[in-house]
């Protein structure tokens, strides 16, 4: 049976995570976010706390894979001193992402899943990037964060930098590069409901193209 996957990368304050959850409920497919960390931890035997370190990536450590440290899919064995390295923790997360994509139709939030599920090996993946203008993001962030506007601005810039650095470090690509997404949607222009409709429309079209509807 074919599986169909939606990956959602999103700027903080764009509502991308909420859109992903609502699509999961509407389409009746699974939803994966931080569950990926738990699955990677269960698979590797490495504590979830260490995966959180990579999830909030800010390390300046030099890479250990070749000259770049870019993800290759190769797991480091438990007997190695590098078993709990950032690269290996990322690779276990990538392994979990690939396994759920092969197992069932689902929505996966973030974690460079659009890159990990490459087009050649995973043709039935809709790769979505959700963004918004600065004012929209500020307004949405105010609803969630008990911070001053200055603190929220700093938080948003830091979060963008973190995601950019994460993608560049482990994938060697630019997080916001439109080339690696099928849909690049501005929720501040289209609105929440229209973004959901657009993703659903393309998801159903993908299924129909493969004879699954």
Which CATH number is 94's domain given?
A: 3.40.50.300
Bridge-based pairing of strands 5-10 and 125-131 is parallel
Strands across the sheet containing 5-10: 30-32, 106-109, 5-10, 125-131, 183-186
What residues form DSSP beta bridges with 131?
186
Question: Is the separation of the CB atoms in 178 and 130 below 8 Å?
Answer: no
Q: What is the structure's pLDDT at 55?
A: 63
CB 83 within 8 A of CB 77: yes
Number of domains in the chain: 1
Classify 183 as helix, strand or coil. Answer: strand
Sequence-ordered strand ranges (E) for the chain: 5-10, 30-32, 106-109, 125-131, 183-186
- Pairwise CA distance, residues 12 & 4, whole Å: 25
- In percent, the amount of the chain with pLDDT more than 90 equals 73
Which whole-number Å values give the CA distances from 81 to 84, 94, 160, in the listed order? 8, 20, 32
Its pTM stands at 0.90
Give pLDDT, residue 49.
83
> Which residues span the domain enclosing 145?
5-209
pLDDT class for 67, splitting at 50, 70, 90? very low
Rounded CA gap, 50 and 112, in Å?
18
Beta partners for residue 112, in sequence order: none
110: its two tokens = 């973030």
Q: pLDDT tens, 38-61?
A: 999 999 999 888 887 776 554 545
Distances (CA, A) of 122 to 97, 100, 101, 117, 127: 12, 12, 8, 6, 11
CB atoms closer than 10 angstroms to residue 207: 16
Mean pLDDT over the full length of the chain: 90
């Amino acid at each position: 049976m074919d599986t169909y996957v939606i990956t959602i990368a999103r700027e903080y304050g764009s509502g991308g995570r909420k859109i992903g959850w609502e699509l999961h409920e509407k389409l009746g497919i699974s939803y994966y976010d931080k569950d990926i960390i738990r699955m990677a931890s269960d698979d590797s035997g490495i504590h979830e706390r260490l995966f959180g370190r990579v999830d909030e990536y800010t390390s300046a450590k030099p890479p250990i894979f070749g000259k770049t440290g870019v993800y290759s899919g190769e797991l480091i064995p438990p007997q190695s001193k590098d078993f709990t390295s950032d690269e290996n923790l990322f690779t276990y997360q990538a392994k979990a992402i690939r396994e759920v994509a092969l197992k069932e139709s689902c929505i996966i939030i973030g974690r460079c899943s659009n890159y990990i599920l490459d087009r050649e090996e995973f043709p039935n993946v809709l790769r979505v990037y959700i963004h918004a203008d600065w004012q929209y993001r500020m307004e949405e962030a105010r609803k969630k964060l008990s911070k001053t506007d200055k603190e929220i601005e700093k938080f948003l810039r830091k979060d963008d930098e973190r995601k950019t650095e994460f993608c560049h470090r482990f994938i060697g690509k630019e997080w916001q590069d439109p080339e690696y997404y099928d849909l690049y949607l501005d929720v501040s222009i289209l609105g929440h409901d229209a973004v959901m409709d657009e993703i659903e429309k393309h998801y159903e079209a993908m299924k129909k193209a493969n004879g699954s509807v």
